[in-house]
Amino acid sequence: MTSRLRSLRDNDRLGQVATHLANAVRWVRRHQDTVRGFLFGTRSRRGLILTVVLYGVLVAIGFVYLYPLLFMLITSFKSPTDLLNPMVQWVPTQWYWGNYVKAFRVLNYPSTLLASILVSVVPSVIQTIVCSVIGYGLARYRFWGKSLLFVLILATFIIPPQTTVIPQMLTYRQLGLLGNILCLILPASMGQGFRSAIFILIFYQTFLSLPKVLEEAARLDGASDLKVFLKIAVPTAIPAYIVSFIFSVVWYWNETYLTVVFLEGGIQTLPMQLSKFVQAYENLYPPGMVNIFDRINEAVKLSGTFLNILPLLIMYFILQKWFVESVERTGIVGE
């Protein structure tokens, strides 16, 4: 009797399961288009599968770019004991600030930071203003030799700077400018700073897309060419100004070859100081003062590297909103 009751109960459960499956199949058939649209998407929105794949690719790309930064940041907080412990990978046993204290002292950070800001910001501001004027002139005026001027501007970008650095250095030496920041300011004021050709082309394309009707209406109202440029052209080119300024600051900041040649050690920037970090560290902390752990401490070097890029990261986070909007409007991809 008991076995019959169990068999009846099992049959009822199987019947209920079969009923639920049949109802599910009917619902799927009835809402087949809805399910297909949810999984594979429609013309107006992406489906679940495509969204998952897209976010997976974005996460993978983001990890590739963020991994070196995360590795550098975490390693910079490791103590010498954690560095020699194979069990410590991503989470240090303690947040060790001694690496940053040593890197701060070795880099002579306050004065070197001010020198880096001076070397990168001042020429960038001048270069951005001058390149905007050149780009506006090329976009709005017709004159003899305009095509030749375009070729020369492109040549300054295509030709490697290593091939022209010797004539420049000899010229600056004759003028008595070597070791002076004027070696960077004067080329920027003439539209020949670091990668000025890119910024000229950015402003040229920006001003070329500006409707001429606005300028003609302003001239009919009695506005001069300078007033037309300042009141009409400049406000419409704000995205190009932001992109050019940020890129220029980054390139001036990271440039060490030309900066070393022209400044001759008269001004020490953070990248220049970082390039000789190991020697400076050994001079400041000789073998008699520190133990073997400090001499092999890679965390100190990574701390100095992070202090080097920290001002650029702060600048990007502050200007992130305007930078993204400017890149979208100008169509320029940065480095």
Residues ≥6 apart with Cβ < 8 Å to 324: none
Query: Residue 200 belongs to a domain with what CATH number?
Result: 1.10.3720.10
Residue 320: helix, strand or coil by DSSP?
helix
Residues ≥6 apart with Cβ < 8 Å to 253: 116, 119, 120, 269, 270, 271, 311, 312
Exposure letters 96-121 (e unless 16+ CB within 10 A, then b) = beebbebbeebbebeebbebbeebbb
Give Dmax over CA atoms of the chain in angstroms: 115
Residues 97-134: pLDDT tens digits?
Answer: 888 888 888 888 888 888 888 888 889 999 999 988 88
- The band of 273, judged by pLDDT with boundaries at 50, 70 and 90, is confident
Dihedral angle sign, alpha carbons of residues 24, 25, 30, 31: positive
Number of domains in the chain: 1
Asked if the structure places residue 161 within a domain, the reply is yes
Q: Give yes or no for residue 8 having a pLDDT over 50.
A: no
- Taking the C-alpha atoms of residue 116 and residue 105, their distance in angstroms, rounded to an integer, is 16
Q: Give yes or no for residue 21 having a pLDDT over 50.
A: yes
One-letter amino acid of 205: Q
Residue 159 burial (CB count, 10 A) = 10
DSSP state of 133: H
Asked if the structure places residue 57 within a domain, the reply is no
Phi, psi of 119 (to 5 degrees): -70, -30
Asked if the structure places residue 298 within a domain, the reply is no
pLDDT attached to residue 142: 82
- Taking the C-alpha atoms of residue 167 and residue 170, their distance in angstroms, rounded to an integer, is 5
pLDDT attached to residue 68: 84
Q: By residue range, what is the domain housing residue 220?
A: 107-275
231, 225 contact by CB (below 8 A): no
Tell me which of 3-7, 203-207, 221-225, 330-334 is least confident.
330-334
* pLDDT cut 90: percent of the chain above it: 1
Asked if the structure places residue 1 within a domain, the reply is no
Residues ≥6 apart with Cβ < 8 Å to 120: 249, 252, 253, 269
Q: Give yes or no for residue 294 having a pLDDT over 60.
A: no
Structure tokens at 238: 């704000």
Q: Which residue has the higher pLDDT, 290 or 64?
A: 64
Residues 167-211: pLDDT tens digits?
Answer: 888 888 888 878 788 888 888 888 888 888 888 888 888 888 878
Asked if the structure places residue 197 within a domain, the reply is yes
pLDDT attached to residue 93: 79
213-233: average pLDDT? 79
Structure tokens at 179: 């070791």
Asked if the structure places residue 62 within a domain, the reply is no
Q: Give yes or no for residue 223 having a pLDDT over 60.
A: yes
SS (HEC) of 260-294: HHHHCCCCCCHHHHHHCHHHHHHHHCCCCCCCHHH
Residue 288: helix, strand or coil by DSSP?
coil
pLDDT attached to residue 80: 76
Residue 41: helix, strand or coil by DSSP?
strand
Q: Give yes or no for residue 292 having a pLDDT over 60.
A: no
Asked if the structure places residue 41 within a domain, the reply is no
The distance from CA 45 to its chain's CA centroid, rounded to whole angstroms, is 31
Residues 313-322: pLDDT tens digits?
Answer: 888 887 777 6
- The band of 293, judged by pLDDT with boundaries at 50, 70 and 90, is low
281, 300 contact by CB (below 8 A): yes
One-letter amino acid of 240: A
pLDDT attached to residue 278: 67
pLDDT attached to residue 333: 43
pLDDT attached to residue 335: 41
Asked if the structure places residue 44 within a domain, the reply is no
Does pTM top 0.85 for this prediction? no
* pLDDT cut 70: percent of the chain above it: 75
pLDDT attached to residue 297: 67
Burial degree of 94 (CB within 10 A; 0-12, 13-18, 19+): exposed
